[in-house]
Structure 1
Amino acid sequence: MIRILLAASALGLASPALAQRTDWAKVRAEWNQPMAPFRILGNVHYVGTAGISAYLITSPQGHILIDGGMPESAPLIAANIEKLGFKLNDVKILLVNHAHWDHEGGLAELKRRTGARLLASAADAPALEAGTSDYRPDISIAAPPVKVDGQLKDGEEIRLGTNTLVAHLTPGHTKGCTSFTMQVPSGGDSLTVLFACSFSVADQPLTPGHGYDAAPADFRATFAKLRATQADVFLSFHAEQFDLAAKRAKQAAGDPEAFVDPGELGRRVDAAQKAFEAELRAQAPK
């Protein structure tokens, strides 16, 4: 039952009634199960837990870490970076896909351990620095506050060594939800890797008066934006959102392109928009 509930929650498919019955202690424990770190492709590495993703992008001049998981995830992420042979103090930039406790929770500790600068969208910065949502009082789980050192704009390039990531504001799941793309050399060409911010509703109020009246319009704009985006590799921040376990198993069995699927982004967006429209109808005043 816990795996069914976990997948529903992570994908934003849980009904409000189910969400109220969620045993978050059990969910957190399952999400935080250790996972051995590995190289996805090029210089992109998985350093997260079994349930919540974190990505290390390396270069001789320093590394970029995307996401901090939950507070209890920070030691696992730090250990995974070191297991791959990299030094924590070589992590120079921290990024976050959105300001919810299960992705921002470990940032303060990882920032302390690495000395890295945290960059985030202007819309999510207040929640990161407060440790609580600035418009969702129903989210009672807090995260350690963390100082944002620089605010990202849509289309802004984040450069470190040989790496260039582009920030794409994709709001809806939160006001400042941010996705990132980068080019990874592959043979004589390159692959576009998308680190996709969550685009599930996940109990987000879609009716006026809850502090985020623009949520429906933002979701629709995000779906349109992502449909116009090309991605050879789709990565996200909950394992269920991109079939992490199955892809990793294929890779371990000898498939070097287990994570390469140019059609996945479109399928994920189609499914998310269908779920969004259903939730919008469900929340409409009767």
Structure 2
Amino acid sequence: MKLAPHLYRLGNDVVACYLIDTPEGITLIDAGLPGHWRDLQRELNSLGKSADDIRGLVLTHGDSDHIGFAERLRREHGVAVYVHAADADRARTGKKPKTPTGPMRLGPALRFFGYSLLSKNGLRTHYIGEVTEIHDGDILDLPGKPAIVGMPGHSPGSVAVHVPLADAVFVGDALTTRHVLTGRIGPQPAPFTDDPAGALVSLDKIAGLQASWVLPGHGAPWRTSPAQVGEAIRKG
């Protein structure tokens, strides 16, 4: 789905990832679930492109619902997968600490797990055989020149990815605009967070960025200034 010039979303409000299309090629932000491979192919076809036009995949963190088709893309098309060094092991092995689930409502939780595990083949996730480690402050040599902003909290290596060309900041699970376990709509902290207090502090790290879109991995795209994010989440 096209959001703006150069900017496309794959998936839906349950789980989403993003595509940035430029004359120099394509950069992907996150890889959703394994079944989002078909969504990727449809979007590429609509653009008259193929997986061979993808120059890199940048992960906001290493959780399984963000790395879905990453290994397939790397293995079949040689696309480099970028992840913060602190989440590299998570992306390669799936090892992560147990976190409290917090509030939950049966209907929304069943929708999330049904969509993830059944509709989008979440049980068939392949962890990533080889990653390129990135760090806070890096500007990657990829289409759109994505800039990396460390946002530890949801995971140690959670990052925001700022792409001025797309007028967007991609925040992964640093926040959500639709809670996958309760169905609550609106900007709020994401569940399954390693360090909730640290995640709230990290929201201030994007405050100085210039963008019109703040794009989470779960929930609707959010049209707002990054400067407003921290206050909005804390009030919510």
TM over 0.5, shorter chain: yes
1:100–1:133 contact (8 Å) kept in structure 2: no
Distance in 2 separating the partners of 1:75 and 1:112: 17
Match of 1:155 among 131, 137, 150: 137
List runs of 5+ in structure 2 lacking aligned partners: 102-121, 175-188
1:68–1:110 contact (8 Å) kept in structure 2: no
Aligned residue runs from structure 1 range 158-237, under 5 A: 158-161=140-143, 163-184=144-165, 192-199=167-174, 200-204=189-193, 215-216=195-196, 218-237=198-217
Q: Per the alignment, in what secondary structure is the counterpart of residue 159 of structure 1?
A: coil
- Superposition RMSD on alpha carbons, in Å? 2.7
Distance in 1 separating the partners of 2:28 and 2:61: 14
Q: Per the alignment, in what secondary structure is the counterpart of residue 71 of structure 1?
A: coil
**1:137/1:221 CA distance change after superposition, 3 Å:** closer
Distance in 2 separating the partners of 1:219 and 1:50: 21
Does residue 110 of structure 2 align to residue 129 of structure 1? no
Question: For residues 86-129 of structure 1, what are the alpha-carbon distances to aligned partners after superposition, in whole Å with 9 as ceiling and x for unaligned?
Answer: 11111120111122221112211233343210011011110110
The amino acid that maps onto 1:173 is H
Residue correspondences, number: 201
Higher strand residue share: 2
1:194–1:234 contact (8 Å) kept in structure 2: yes
Residue aligning to 1:63 = 26
Does residue 66 of structure 2 align to residue 91 of structure 1? no
Distance in 2 separating the partners of 1:274 and 1:204: 19
Displacement of 1:84 in angstroms is 2.3
The amino acid that maps onto 1:136 is K
Q: Per the alignment, in what secondary structure is the counterpart of residue 81 of structure 2?
A: strand
Residue aligning to 1:15 = none
Distance in 2 separating the partners of 1:226 and 1:84: 31
Question: For residues 1-49 of structure 1, what are the alpha-carbon distances to aligned partners after superposition, in whole Å with 9 as ceiling and x for unaligned?
Answer: xxxxxxxxxxxxxxxxxxxxxxxxxxxxxxxxxxxx32x2232222334
Q: Percent same amino acid at aligned positions?
A: 21
2:138–2:148 contact (8 Å) kept in structure 1: yes
Question: For residues 182-218 of structure 1, what are the alpha-carbon distances to aligned partners after superposition, in whole Å with 9 as ceiling and x for unaligned?
Answer: 222xxxxxx742112322241435xxxxxxxxx2553
Residue aligning to 2:126 = 144
Q: Per the alignment, in what secondary structure is the counterpart of residue 160 of structure 1?
A: coil
Question: For residues 230-281 of structure 1, what are the alpha-carbon distances to aligned partners after superposition, in whole Å with 9 as ceiling and x for unaligned?
Answer: 43222222234x35xxxxxxxxxxxxxxx5x43xx34543343356xxxxxx
Residue aligning to 1:30 = none
Question: For residues 152-175 of structure 1, what are the alpha-carbon distances to aligned partners after superposition, in whole Å with 9 as ceiling and x for unaligned?
Answer: 1101001235x2110111111111
